[in-house]
């Protein structure tokens, strides 16, 4: 059975493809150095239109309506511009109530695009553009520490990491936040109060790293303008010791939070990147099967959130207290305890 | 003997889901088709593989170890057809439910006519209806266009007008939808199915074909005002869905070639099998198949040779937090006998959402998973009933209940699964309950397209797990009052007699493959599907659990008192051997 993987790496080469969902303009060049919040490509999406039925509005037969049209597709028009005009002694006009772009003008119909949105694509981490994907985006590479999480609120930012955690199970309260934290990214533990998120916005901080976030706070987290990454769970959960050690050892260093949404299909996870001035050899990221000696992260109770090492894979399916039978491994937890875990309930830790 | 059996064509079936990929082998044994072996591996439809063929190859590697003959060449290509040395198979059929739920917009004339049929059509696939554009839509023409642009649907279902009926209004609606599609970037344009007024088919094709990603024209779902004919449009929609999945999922093209084009959406294939089973049951009798997956849940009712389908974008994986937007944690906790705080329900939902492939290891977790299963199935039953109230009464008489999905079929003890199914579906009268732990139903539905004997032979060969016959009593009354006298006469003449009281579940052993005469005599106000107070004698076959008498009442009422409720839940579970 192939093993899913989560990355908690002290040093690695990180290569990420950033791609627009629809074609647009790429704004970066090969070998260009980019910041995490830099827009590397953008696409335009039309959002609002106005429709004019010339025949109906000018009370003309279809042929005359076609003749009455004064604009062509692709044309930019200003507010009050004449879009169509009837002939005769008392000509009637259709004028554009707003500036816009004519997207359709034929057979007595005019469609005017009056509003569009620009979809920016951010670099997501500081690095170098190693490949430009024409019309869609780029591939960016960086070196440093990498910690993947389970929840992100869709924002990106960089800042100095400030550690508010003394132990893995720390629960953050709003009273611990103050103005001295302005512009920092806070390593803050478990979050169960809305006030923490609100106060962090008021300071304002550049980001929050949480080990867990109470689910009722998810809608609020999604509204926050600063990035929030949850490393371990949307249930009460201490930070896993690997992430905790790695993050606390990089306190006061500039880090980046790419709090992109967790997307199983695309394999995208929210990521914390700590850029480091070293260049490790790029590692082959082959998909592996579970095997003895591997470091694993346990996903479900009764050992959820614990890190362990695979001792051996059981030759036959094991029966668990729930009565379910499944392929399993013997795993030694960090406290030395040896437990049985279904393979489906583990993922490899890089 | 039919030609197809003499030819002895072996058949491999694979089903690709978002969480699992399954493979099953069918071949001739003693002149009849049999299900020989199956393998299930984690799906590779998503990252890091993003290639469905890898999961199929892994499943075939497991399968060839089990059957001890090769199915793949050393470079992992499927061996087709069977070689002289016995390696390989003669054919392959593929079913697939992997992929994202399809974002769908409906276009139709009237809400309770063509649009209702469009809704029925959309509800038969794994998708989400995001918007409807119709004659009484209050939005301006351009706002309808903007809605299409903002939603970027994967699929546009257009209906409207009876055959020979309205045409101008339909064309006006199509114009708005068509303009929206035209303005979308080419990569984002939806597939379009038109199943409206047949007289407009040519014109619709001319308007939409240049811009649609794919366009299918199907026979009208509403040929007349009082007639709904979904089947041809469902077939066209199945083809369209397969085309979309081929574009979305890497590896589907290769599988399409391997299978010689025998590829169907999982739910459509399963519906085909349910229709076939319904035809064999005869008029007025119903069969229900429920498939509880990680991302979607399907309920398929077969009645009078027709199928009525509802696929919900709910399952015991990623969508669980969405379910908690509709129900309270207490609605989940009422089904478990464990004393758990409500936050455990929420924690469980998010854990399964983030890691849908994981399994419940502790009894408490399993109890929560089965509680969620109940609520999903209950919602499915409600929605299926709303769509087809004429064929699905509140307590339906179901001749057969087929249950699929790992949560309900992979347990070491069948009692908890059976209890969850009965709690959710609340059937009335006599029902056989069969589990499909290997997910064979859609595979057999697809196999029927190649060889119609395969499903017939395989279903007759105990490939499904028959739990037994459930007698569901429709009664309301005080707990403990007598409701039914039961007399079971075994083949050897011995008898078992039981006085069943309201609120109880009873089990009478009757081994699988044995038959017995079951005499039921309800008291005057009680109905066992034959009318109040009317009893009868039936010949029934046994199953792993025997005969189960569910006298807990319909609707199933759970005590308000929490302690009492937990005690009862524990007692019922214990009775069923959970």
Q: What is the 3-state secondary structure (H, E, C) of B504-518?
A: EEEEECCCCCCEEEE
A46-117 CATH fold: OB fold (Dihydrolipoamide Acetyltransferase, E2P) (2.40.50)
Identify the closest residue of chain A to B322 by CA–CA distance.
Answer: A215
| CB contact at 8 A, A288 and A2 | yes
DSSP string, B486-507: EEEEETTS-EEEEEEETTEEEE
φ, ψ at B415 (rounded to 5°): -55, -50
ipTM score of the complex? 0.91
Give the max Cα distance, chain A: 97
In CATH, B102-248 is 3.40.50.280: yes
- Give the tokens for residue B413: 């003890």
In the prediction, which pLDDT does A1 show? Answer: 80
pLDDT class for A284, splitting at 50, 70, 90? low
* Mutation to test the B interface, candidates A46, A110, A324, most B Cβ within 10 Å: A324
Buried (b) or exposed (e) across A173-211, using 16+ Cβ within 10 A?
Answer: eeeebeeebeebbbbbbbbbeeebbebbeebebbbbbbb
| CA B306 – CA A34 distance, rounded (Å) | 60
Nearest to A344 among B146, B351, B357 (CB): B357
pLDDT of residue B206: 93
Structure tokens at B170: 């339909």
Which of B62, B180, B328, B350 is the best substitution to test chain A (most A C-beta atoms within 10 A)?
A: B350
Closest CA to B541 of B457, B456, B468: B468
Q: What's the predicted TM-score (pTM) here? A: 0.94
Q: What is the DSSP string of A188-227?
A: EEEE--HHHHHHHHHTT-SEEEEEEE-GGGHHHHHH-SS-
pLDDT at B3: 44
Contact of B2 with chain A, judged by CB distance below 8 Å, is answered with no
Burial degree of A330 (CB within 10 A; 0-12, 13-18, 19+): middle
Q: Does residue A90 belong to the interface with chain B, where contact is any CB pair within 8 Å? A: no
Closest chain B CA to residue A3? B42
* pLDDT tens figures, A218-231: 999 999 999 999 99
Indicate the pLDDT class of residue A187, thresholds 50, 70 and 90: very high
Nearest to A300 among B349, B353, B355 (CB): B355
Give the per-residue pLDDT at A288: 85
Contacts of B412 in chain A (CB under 8 A): 319, 323-325
**What is the per-residue pLDDT for B2?**
46
Question: d(Cα A130, Cα A139) in Å, to the nearest integer?
Answer: 6
Segments of chain A assigned to CATH 2.40.50: 46-117
DSSP A289: B
B46/A264 Cβ within 8 A: yes
B225/B114 Cα distance (integer angstroms) = 9
**Cis amide leading into A204 (omega within 30):** yes
Query: Contact, B216 vs B193, CB < 8 A?
Result: yes
pLDDT tens, position by position, A166-183? 999 999 999 999 999 999
B508 token code pair: 């009478």
Do residue A111 and residue B185 have CB atoms under 8 angstroms apart? no
**Calpha distance B393→A123 (Å, rounded):** 56
The three-state DSSP-derived secondary structure of A21-82 is CCCCEECCCCCCEECCCCEEEEEEEEEEEEEEEHHHHHCCCHHHHHHHECCCCCCEECCCCE
Element holding B417 (H helix, E strand): helix B415-425
Q: Where are the domains of chain B?
A: 3-96, 102-248, 268-575
pLDDT in tens, chain B (578 residues): 444 444 568 999 999 999 999 999 999 999 999 999 999 999 999 999 999 999 999 999 999 999 999 999 999 999 999 999 999 999 999 999 999 999 999 999 988 889 999 999 999 999 999 999 999 999 999 999 999 999 999 999 999 988 888 788 899 899 999 999 999 999 899 999 999 999 999 999 999 999 999 999 999 999 998 899 999 999 999 999 999 999 999 999 999 999 999 999 999 999 999 999 999 988 889 999 999 999 999 999 999 999 999 999 999 999 999 999 999 999 999 999 999 999 999 999 999 999 999 999 999 999 999 999 999 999 999 999 999 999 999 999 999 999 999 999 988 889 999 999 999 999 999 999 999 999 999 999 999 999 989 999 999 998 999 999 999 999 888 889 999 999 999 999 999 999 999 999 999 999 998 999 999 999 998 999 889 999 999 999 999 999 999 999 999 989 999 999 999 999 999 999 86
Q: What is the CATH code of the structural domain delimited by A295-349?
A: 2.30.30
Distance of residue B68 Cα from the nearest chain A Cα, in angstroms: 18
Q: Quick check: B46 and A320 CB within 8 A? A: no
C-alpha distances in Å from residue A212, one per residue of A164, A171, A174, A229, A237: 14, 9, 15, 9, 6
Q: Are B434 and B465 in contact (CB under 8 A)?
A: yes
Residue among B58, B53, B54 at smallest CA distance from B39: B58
Taking the C-alpha atoms of residue B230 and residue A300, their distance in angstroms, rounded to an integer, is 43
Q: CATH top-level class for A5-15+143-275?
A: alpha beta
When pLDDT is averaged across residues A22-38 and rounded to a whole number, the result is: 97
Interface test with B, best of A323, A331, A342, A350 (most B CBs within 10 A): A323
- Could you tell me the two tokens for A110? 């005019």
**B312 close to B292: Cβ distance less than 8 angstroms:** no
Is B577 an interface residue toward A (CB < 8 Å)? no
Per the CB < 8 Å rule, is B355 touching A345?
Answer: yes
The two three-digit tokens of residue B453, written as one number: 């004997």
- Provide the chain A residues 126-165 that lie in CB contact (below 8 A) with chain B: 150-151
Torsional class of B103: left (φ above 0), alpha (ψ -120 to 50), beta (otherwise): beta
Residue A280 has pLDDT above 80, yes or no: no
Is A300 close to B354, i.e. CB distance below 8 A? no
d(CA B427, CA B76): 47
Return the residue in B56, B359, B420 with the most chain A beta carbons within 10 A, the one to mutate for interface testing: B359
Residues of B with Cβ-Cβ distance to A45 under 8 angstroms: 149
Residues A228, A271: contact at Cβ < 8 Å? Answer: no
Cα Dmax for chain B: 77
Mark which residues 186-205 of B lie under 8 Å from A by CB: 187-188
**Searching chain A, which residue's CA lies closest to the CA of residue B355?**
A299
Which CATH code for domain B3-96?
3.10.20.370
Q: Quick one: pLDDT at residue A63?
A: 87
pLDDT value at position B161? Answer: 87
The region that residue A252 occupies, defined by phi over 0 for left and psi between -120 and 50 for alpha, beta otherwise, is left
């Amino acid at each position: 059975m192939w093993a899913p993987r989560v990355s908690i790496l002290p040093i690695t080469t990180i290569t990420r493809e950033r791609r627009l969902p629809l074609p647009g303009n790429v704004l970066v060049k090969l070998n260009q150095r980019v910041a995490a919040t830099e827009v590397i490509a953008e696409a335009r999406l039309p959002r609002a239109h106005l429709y004019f039925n010339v025949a109906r509005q000018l009370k003309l037969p279809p042929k005359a309506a076609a003749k009455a049209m004064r604009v062509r597709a692709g044309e930019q028009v200003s507010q009050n511009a004449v879009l169509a005009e009837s002939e005769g002694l008392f000509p009637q006009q259709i004028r554009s109530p707003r500036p816009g772009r004519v997207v359709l003008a034929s057979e007595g119909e005019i469609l005017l695009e009056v509003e569009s949105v620009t979809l920016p694509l951010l670099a997501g981490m500081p690095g170098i553009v190693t490949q430009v994907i024409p019309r869609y985006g780029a591939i960016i590479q960086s070196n440093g520490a990498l910690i993947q999480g389970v929840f992100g609120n869709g924002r990106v930012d960089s800042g100095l990491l400030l550690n508010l955690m003394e132990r893995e199970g720390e629960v953050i309260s709003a009273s611990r936040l103050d103005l001295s934290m302005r512009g920092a990214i806070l390593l803050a533990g478990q979050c169960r109060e809305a006030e923490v998120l609100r106060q962090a916005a008021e300071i304002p901080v550049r980001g929050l790293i949480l080990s867990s976030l109470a689910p009722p706070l998810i809608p609020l987290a999604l509204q926050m303008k600063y990035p929030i990454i949850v490393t371990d769970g949307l249930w009460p959960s201490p930070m896993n010791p690997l992430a905790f050690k790695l993050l606390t050892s990089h306190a006061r260093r500039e880090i980046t939070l790419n709090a992109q949404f967790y997307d199983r299909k695309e394999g995208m996870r929210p990521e914390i990147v700590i850029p480091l001035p070293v260049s490790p050899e790029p590692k082959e990221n082959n998909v592996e099967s579970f095997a003895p000696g591997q470091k694993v992260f346990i996903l479900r109770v009764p050992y959820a959130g614990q890190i362990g090492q695979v001792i051996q894979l059981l030759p036959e399916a094991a029966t668990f207290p729930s009565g379910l039978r499944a392929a399993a491994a013997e795993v030694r937890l960090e406290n030395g305890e040896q437990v049985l875990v279904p393979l489906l309930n583990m993922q490899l830790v890089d | 003997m039919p030609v197809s059996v003499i030819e002895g064509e072996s058949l491999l079936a694979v089903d690709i889901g978002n969480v699992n990929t399954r493979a099953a082998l069918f071949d001739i044994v003693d002149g009849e088709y049999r299900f020989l072996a199956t393998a299930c591996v984690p799906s590779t439809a998503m990252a890091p593989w993003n290639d469905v063929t890898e999961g199929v190859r892994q499943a075939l590697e497991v399968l060839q170890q089990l059957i001890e003959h090769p199915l793949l060449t050393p470079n992992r290509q499927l061996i087709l057809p069977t070689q002289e040395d016995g390696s390989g198979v003669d054919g392959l059929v593929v079913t697939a439910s992997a992929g994202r739920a399809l974002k769908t917009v409906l276009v139709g004339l009237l809400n309770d006519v063509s649009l209702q049929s469009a809704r029925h059509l959309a509800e038969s696939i794994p998708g989400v209806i995001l918007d409807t554009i119709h004659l009484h839509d209050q939005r301006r023409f351009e706002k309808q266009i903007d809605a299409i642009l903002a939603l970027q649907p994967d699929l546009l279902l257009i209906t409207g007008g009876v055959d020979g009926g309205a045409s101008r209004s339909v064309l006006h609606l199509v114009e708005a939808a068509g303009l929206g599609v035209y303005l979308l970037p080419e990569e984002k344009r939806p597939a379009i199915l038109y199943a409206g007024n047949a007289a407009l088919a040519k014109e619709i094709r001319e308007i939409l074909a240049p811009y649609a990603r794919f366009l299918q024209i199907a026979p009208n779902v509403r040929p007349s005002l009082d007639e709904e004919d979904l089947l041809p449009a469902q077939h066209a929609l199945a083809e369209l869905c397969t085309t979309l999945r081929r574009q979305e999922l890497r590896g589907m093209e290769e599988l399409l070639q391997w299978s010689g084009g025998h590829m169907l959406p999982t739910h459509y294939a399963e519906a085909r099998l349910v229709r076939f089973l319904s035809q064999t049951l005869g008029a007025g009798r119903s069969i229900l198949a429920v498939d509880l997956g990680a991302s979607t849940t399907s309920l398929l009712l077969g009645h009078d040779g027709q199928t009525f389908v509802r696929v919900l974008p709910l399952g015991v994986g990623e969508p669980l937090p969405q379910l908690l937007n509709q129900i309270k944690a207490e609605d989940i906790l009422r089904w478990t006998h464990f004393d758990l705080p409500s936050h455990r329900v929420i924690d469980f939902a998010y854990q399964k959402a983030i890691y849908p492939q994981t399994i419940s290891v502790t009894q408490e977790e399993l109890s929560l998973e089965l509680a969620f299963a109940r609520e999903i199935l209950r919602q499915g039953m409600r929605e299926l009933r709303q769509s087809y109230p004429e064929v699905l009464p509140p307590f339906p008489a179901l001749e057969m209940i087929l249950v699929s999905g790992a949560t309900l079929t992979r347990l070491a003890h069948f009692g908890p699964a059976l209890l969850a199914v009965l709690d959710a579906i609340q059937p009335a009268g006599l029902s056989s309950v069969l589990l499909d732990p290997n997910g064979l139903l859609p595979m057999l539905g697809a196999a029927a397209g190649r060889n119609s004997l395969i499903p017939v032979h395989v279903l007759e060969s105990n490939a499904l797990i028959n739990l037994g016959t459930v007698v569901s009593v429709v009664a309301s009354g005080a707990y403990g009052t007598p409701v039914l006298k039961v007399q079971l006469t075994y083949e050897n003449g011995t008898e078992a007699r039981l006085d069943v009281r309201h609120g109880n579940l009873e089990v009478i052993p009757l081994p699988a493959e044995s038959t017995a005469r079951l005499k039921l005599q309800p008291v005057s106000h009680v109905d066992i599907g034959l009318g109040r107070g009317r009893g009868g004698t039936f010949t029934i076959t046994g199953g792993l659990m025997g005969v189960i008498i569910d006298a807990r009442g319909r609707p199933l009422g759970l005590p308000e008192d929490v302690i009492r409720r937990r005690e009862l839940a524990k007692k019922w579970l214990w009775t069923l051997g959970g």
